[in-house]
Chains A and B, each alone.
Chain A
C-alpha cells in the first residue's frame, strides 16, 4: 500500500499553480500518470523518489513513512526503496554496462545478483560495452535493469520509452511487464502515449494543473459513457480536406493511416494534431474530438 498525499506550489509555463494530490496505490499495482506536460507528473515522481520535497503532506510506503511534514520526516533518496528510470537514461558514461549495474549494489560482493539481472534482461553479451556505444533501446534496458537491481518497492518510470521507435518501445513495454510479473513491484509510469497506457496499466490517473481530474481503468477514463458504439478507436488527425459538401479527414490510428468522411459539424473545431475518438454508429464511422 502506498499513500501519497502531497501539496506543493509549482511554477508552470502558464503561471503558478498548486500541486495537490491524494493517491492510494495497492502493492503490486501498475498505474499510469497521464496529462499535458507541465501538469506535475514528473514532479510527483520526483517527490516519491525524494529528489523534490513537497511543501506539505505525507508519503507512506508499506509501513514506512518516507515523508511527513507534520512529523518533520523526510528520508533522503538513498533511504527510500525506490527505482527510477529517467527519459534520458542517465547511465553513468564512465562505467560499462556491468559496472553500471554493480553501482546499484548495496553489497559490493553480491555479483550473483548482477549476473542474474544481466541474464534476465538479455544484456549478457553487452556487459563490457560503454553506454555511448549502445542504442537508445539498449540503454533504456540497462537503466531498467539497474533500477530493478535493488528490488525497489516502487518503480518510477518517467516517460522512459518516449525517445524510442515503435518496435523498440513495444519490446520494452513487454519487458517491463515481464519484470513486473516476476518481482511484483508497484510501478508508476508517466506516459503521453495512449496506446502505451492501454497496454501497460489497469489504472490511469489524469493529472491537470496539479490536480487529479480522473482516475480509473483506461477504457473508462478515455471513453465517455454515452459513447457505446459498436466499436471505437483513438486516433490523431493528420489532415482535413474539403470534399464537396463533406470533408475528408486523414487520421492516424496506431501506425495506420486511414481516410474517413466527416460532416462540417464534426470538423468545425478540428485541427491537424488533434486527438479524436472514432466510433461506428450507423453507416459510416463518426468522430468526436477528445478534450
Chain B
C-alpha cells in the first residue's frame, strides 16, 4: 500500500490556517489584556488560559455538544450559513483556535508588558494614533515575542490529538490529521507507516524550534 501523505498535508494546512487566525485574534486580545484595567479582565484571562489546564477531551466534548446540529448554536450555524462544525475541517479550525489561543496570547501579552510605557507614550506625543503606534513602534520592538507566540501556536496545533479526535473523528481528507493517522496505524500494527508519520512530525517540530532559537538570537542581537 502506497504511503498516504494526506494526513500530513492536512495537519500543516490546519496549522497554517489556525496560526493565521490566531494572529488576527491574538494580537488585539493580548494588547487589550496587557493595557486594560477593567475589573473583569481576570475573567477573560482565565478563559484564555483554560485550555492549558483542561484535558483536551473535556474541551473537545463540550465543543462537540455545542457544534452538534441538535444544539441551538450548531443548529443555527447549519441552517443560516450551511456550516457544519462537528466532524468537519472548519470545526477542527475553530476548536484548534480555541485550544491554541493561550500559546499565542501569553507570549505576546508578555511582550507588550515588557516594553517600557514611555515608548508608546513618546509615539502618542509625536502625533501617532494607537493603531499606528501598535504597528510602527510596539510590534516591531517585540519580534521575539511574536515569533514565540506564532511558533508555539503552530507547533501546538500540529501536535494536537484529543480535541481533534473528539471534534473531527477520523474522516480521511477531512479530519484525519497526522497525529490521528499515527494512532490508526499503530492500532492496525502498521508500525512502518506510523514510524514515517511520527518521524516527519518529529523532524519538522525539531527544525521549527531550532529555527526559532537561532532567529531569536539574531533578533535580540539587532535590537
Contacts and interface: CB of A to CB of B under 8 A. Distances in A.
Secondary structure at the A interface, as helix, strand, loop or mixed, is loop
Contact of A90 (B122, B127, B128): B122
A146 B125 CA distance: 11
Nearest to A78: B127
A146 B124 contact: no
B116 interface: yes
A103 B126 contact: yes
A87 B54 CA distance: 46
B126 A104 contact: yes
B116 A88 contact: yes
B35 to A, nearest CB: 13
A137 interface: no
Secondary structure at the B interface, as helix, strand, loop or mixed, is helix
A76 B121 CA distance: 11
A150 interface: yes
A147 B126 CA distance: 7
A210 to B, nearest CB: 22
A86 interface: yes
B121 A51 contact: yes
Interface stretch (B86-94, B134-142, B173-181): B134-142
B126 A90 contact: no
Contacts of A86: 118, 121-122
A51 to B, nearest CB: 5
Interface string B109-136: 0000000101101111111110000001
A73 B119 CA distance: 25
B223 interface: yes
Contact of B141 (A50, A77, A92, A147): A92
Interface in B129-162: 129, 136-137, 140-141
B134 to A, nearest CB: 13
A106 B116 contact: no
A53 interface: no
A106 B126 CA distance: 9
B127 A150 contact: yes
A80 B128 CA distance: 11
A76 B124 contact: yes
Contacts of B119: 90, 92
B223 A132 contact: yes
B145 to A, nearest CB: 14
Given A76-B124, A84-B122, A92-B123, 5 more contacts: A91-B122, A94-B223, A103-B126, A104-B127, A106-B127
Interface of B: 116, 118-119, 121-129, 136-137, 140-141, 223
19 contacts: A49-B121, A50-B124, A50-B125, A51-B121, A76-B129, A77-B125, A78-B126, A78-B127, A82-B125, A84-B122, A86-B122, A90-B119, A92-B122, A93-B223, A94-B140, A94-B223, A103-B126, A103-B136, A104-B127
